[in-house]
Amino acid sequence: MDFLIKPAQEGELLRAIKIAAKRDSDRLHNLAIARRFETLTRREKEVLALVVRGASNKDIAADLGIVLTTVKVHRERGVKKMGAKNVADLVRMTRKILW
């Protein structure tokens, strides 16, 4: 993660370890999100992609040619599978793996 010149200062070494641990933690978190995303059906991915872009359920139904109730079911299942608490949480999660 980093190159330190020997003998490394204690503070410098601890800072490098903390940065490496944070990067690894972030990588594992993003990998877990990607794995959850892969459990979604094709339709759940389509619906959630539109949700993340800010489309309303009504607009999603029109865009995909499905009824509003079906959009709500796919949205609810997708959010649950992703482990998101709300749409803002879902946006943060998907941004890490889609963009």
Return the SS3 of 68. helix
Amino acid at 12: E
Q: What is the pLDDT of residue 1?
A: 64
Ordered by where they begin, the domains of the chain are 10-98 (1.10.10.10)
pLDDT for 77 beyond 70:
yes
10-33: pLDDT as tens digits: 888 899 889 999 999 989 988 999
Query: The whole model's pTM is what?
Result: 0.74
Tell me the mean pLDDT in the region 47-55.
93
Could you please report the per-residue DSSP string of 3-57? --PSSPPHHHHHHHHHHHHHHHHHHHHHHHHHHHHHTS-HHHHHHHHHHHTT--H
DSSP 85: S
| Consecutive H or E run containing 1 | none
